[in-house]
Amino acid sequence: MKLFGPLPRILALAGLLAATPMAVAPAMAAPADVALLKSYLGSWKGRGTLVGADSESVVCRLSLSEGNSDKVNYSGRCTLAGTSLAVNGTLAYNDAARRYEAAMTSNVTFSGLAVGKKSGDNIVFNLKERNKDEEGNDLTVTAAIVLKGKGQAIGVDFQVIFNATGEMLKASVPFTK
């Protein structure tokens, strides 16, 4: 198995940005929860290392902007060894479900929905998806995004596990404005 082939790298990047997430419709979102999401509006940069059989630098940009109906739209791009991943999505507070929701789509057909939980001034989103790479290998992609301290920082941790062998790619990327 080629651990750092094009599709595994793209899926790893998708995992990275998956935690950053698609269209979610809040029902009369609570003002304080919407304000907390909007505290992250702006341009963000992140840099980290993808670790597996080899290590490679990951460089990311993320832009959050005001959306419709108390939503926050985001658009992001990461590069790794000449591979680029683009994601777009929406963050929202769904008052009816009493939770934060994040959704994403990407240029590599990876999409996901993550539920966020408030923890102090932070919002933590977790995503877990199963997929297959171009060689038919069964993969599990997990990602966690933490929106930290009322617009102060964003942290993304992710991993891709090749289920048949247990081999893993993982990274942690801190974002700052």
| pLDDT score, position 3 | 45
The domain containing residue 147 runs over which residues?
6-176
Q: Any idea what the CATH number is for the domain that residue 112 is in?
A: 2.40.128.20
Nearest residue to 129 via CA among 143, 116, 115: 143
Each of the 177 residues of the chain gets a pLDDT tens digit; together they read 444 454 454 445 554 444 444 334 434 558 889 999 999 999 999 999 999 888 999 999 999 999 998 999 999 998 877 778 788 899 999 988 889 999 878 776 567 788 999 988 899 988 888 877 777 888 888 888 899 998 999 998 888 888 999 999 888 899 999
Number of domains present in the structure of the chain: 1
In a domain, 29, yes or no: yes
In whole angstroms, what is the distance from residue 7 CA to residue 106 CA?
A: 13
What residues have CB less than 8 Å from 171, skipping those under 6 apart?
A: 12, 16, 48, 49, 50, 51, 58, 156, 157, 158, 159
In a domain, 74, yes or no: yes
| pLDDT score, position 109 | 59
CA angle 20–129–133, rounded 5-degree value? 105
Beta bridge partners of 115: 101, 126
In whole angstroms, what is the distance from residue 174 CA to residue 47 CA?
A: 7
